Structure 1
Amino acid sequence: MSEPQQTNDANRYDPYATEQVRYEVKDHIATITLDHAPANAFGYAQSRQFVDAFTRADRDDDVRVIILRAEGRIFSGGHDLKESKNPPVIPEGEIPPKELGPKTFPQPTLVSKPVITLVQGWAVGGAFCVVAYSDIVIASPEAKFGVPEVKIGAVGGTGGAAWALPTHVASYLALTGAPIDAERAYQVGFVNEIVPKDKLVEEGERVARLILANPPITVRYIKQSLRDIYPLSRITEPVRINAARNDVALNTEDAREAVAAFVEKRAPVFHGR
């Protein structure tokens, strides 16, 4: 797919110029599909469409379960680093980029309906948080999960890791930037099932039908009860704080060096400043 067009006239920038998130409803199941090759990265346009798709599903009384999936080899590479180097000019009235990020990644837990997320390949950074905040996760054997932002000087998905993983596993991912594979994710309870990649949608729909067989109002109350164990502020507040920490961390000399080294495919040289 082509990138959203940006012109010198800021008012003409349209985050919907290309469809990067598909939305469809069938038999009370809303399927939200990331479709932005090659990495399904969360730039402004995909993030905007992502938030709107979840909002739409949550407001639709015909929708009782949400399935989140992605096209391509991977689920998502997280935040779009290329766009961060050359951000689009956002017209007045649009959600500012600094506000859109914290709205994007907690969406599965912000909606009132169960979210089943299907993961193939990599789900890292902000995409890891999307998975972490989902209700049920089904992965293929090729799936890998991680919060590698430390490697580019960002705080990133630390909050998502802390929410969904045992403390020492979360610390390992956040401090090293190293990923875990589907089997390890299954062992620590991050993933519910591992199925072949070509069976992900079939299995996701099977689980969705199990949920649909139950009283819809009760299902919504159960999701609310599950989330009440950990108040919503336990998610939204760390996301907000991490966004502020990211702003500080990404303005350090080491962070600029880390991004440059990543783009130039070389080892970074850090000086602790």
Structure 2
Amino acid sequence: MSKNFTNVLIEDAIAIVEIDHAPANTLSSACIAELREVFNNLSNDKQVKAIILTGAGRFFVAGADIKEFVAAFGNEDKGLDMAVAGQAICDEIENMKKPVIAAINGACLGGGLELAMGCHYRIAVPDAILGLPELKLGLIPGFGGTQRLSRLTGTATALELILTSKQLKGKEAKEVGIVQLVVSPEELLPSAKTIAKAFIEGKSMTSITRAVECIIGGANESLADGLERERSRFAELFLTDDAKEGVQAFIEKRKPLFTHK
């Protein structure tokens, strides 16, 4: 796969995906298409157990590519196509069965924040700027921002942030629940790797993927449906080698030797 907008490094079962689209890592349609392909490949790569998403340089993602908006004026279908593509990459990241961590290294605005909110866990540096300023352009967030922000912060705070176009620094974003951790720039990737390792080390991917699926899927369905999904995935694990090994290792007071089967 030829990559023009991303750099991918895989080490210790963790993939680091760096968006590299100078000067501000904007999400052009071509960049979005490449990201979708990258995440699809990582989803199918059995060597990869967790993913970190970050940006090159001073930006995480400054937003969508505004220049592409100009060509859509007067054409509702083109506007719809952009929203469909933007929502698709965020949905695909959220629905990954492998943990995805956003390491927010700088400006994370508009489509960039929507992309980060599609990730399962978010870490930011103190000077990162996060916000959804679309109303200043006469638009609204179209890559899932109106829905995911309210799920993270609550309806009232989401209304405030979107209607005022307020931009938050890292610590403020943590206070309202958008990010889980704020660390120095030097600690950003090491912290993301540490958390990724904590998610996957000593565990079987057979249970990790089902846990992620149940949590993410259950957040978008009724409690009854979520519980049904949980029962089903729980029962499936009794057919796996790793569940048998994990329980036997516990009984024998030793570390399990998982084969991820």
> Same fold judged by TM-score > 0.5?
yes
1: CA distance, partners of 2:117 / 2:8: 21
Give how far 1:232 is off. Answer: 7.1
Q: Hey, what does 1:48 align to over in structure 2?
A: 33
Matching of residue 61 in structure 1 with residue 50 in structure 2: no
Q: Hey, what does 1:168 align to over in structure 2?
A: 156
Matching of residue 31 in structure 1 with residue 16 in structure 2: yes
Percentage of matched positions with identical amino acids: 26
Q: Cα distance 1:17–1:133, how it changes in 2: closer, same or farther (>3 A)?
A: closer
Q: Hey, what does 2:130 align to over in structure 1?
A: 145
2: CA distance, partners of 1:63 / 1:192: 23
Q: Cα distance 1:98–1:193, how it changes in 2: closer, same or farther (>3 A)?
A: closer
Matching of residue 19 in structure 1 with residue 22 in structure 2: no
Matching of residue 119 in structure 1 with residue 107 in structure 2: no
**CA distances 1:124-166 after superposition (whole Å, capped 9, x unpaired):** 1111111112111111001121111011111212223123222
Give RMSD over aligned pairs: 2.0
Aligned residues of 2:108 and 2:128 also touching (Cα < 8 A): yes
1: CA distance, partners of 2:62 / 2:221: 26
Aligned residues of 1:30 and 1:67 also touching (Cα < 8 A): yes
1: CA distance, partners of 2:205 / 2:152: 26
1: CA distance, partners of 2:198 / 2:2: 37
User: Residue type matched to 1:75 in 2?
Assistant: F
**CA distances 1:3-28 after superposition (whole Å, capped 9, x unpaired):** xxxxxxxxxxxxx8861112232221
Aligned to 1:72, the other structure's residue is in SS state coil
Aligned to 1:24, the other structure's residue is in SS state strand
2:216 pairs with 194, 213, 227, which one?
A: 227
Give how far 1:176 is off. Answer: 1.1
Aligned to 1:222, the other structure's residue is in SS state helix
Q: Hey, what does 1:178 align to over in structure 2?
A: 166
> Which range moves more in the overlay, 49-58 or 188-197?
188-197
More helix per residue: 2
Aligned to 2:210, the other structure's residue is in SS state helix
Give how far 1:117 is off. Answer: 0.7
Unmatched runs of 5 consecutive residues or more in structure 2: 73-80, 223-261
> How many correspondences in the alignment?
210
User: Residue type matched to 1:133 in 2?
Assistant: G
**CA distances 1:219-238 after superposition (whole Å, capped 9, x unpaired):** 111111211332279xxxxx
1:202 pairs with 172, 187, 190, which one?
A: 190
Aligned to 1:105, the other structure's residue is in SS state helix
User: Residue type matched to 2:219 in 1?
Assistant: Y
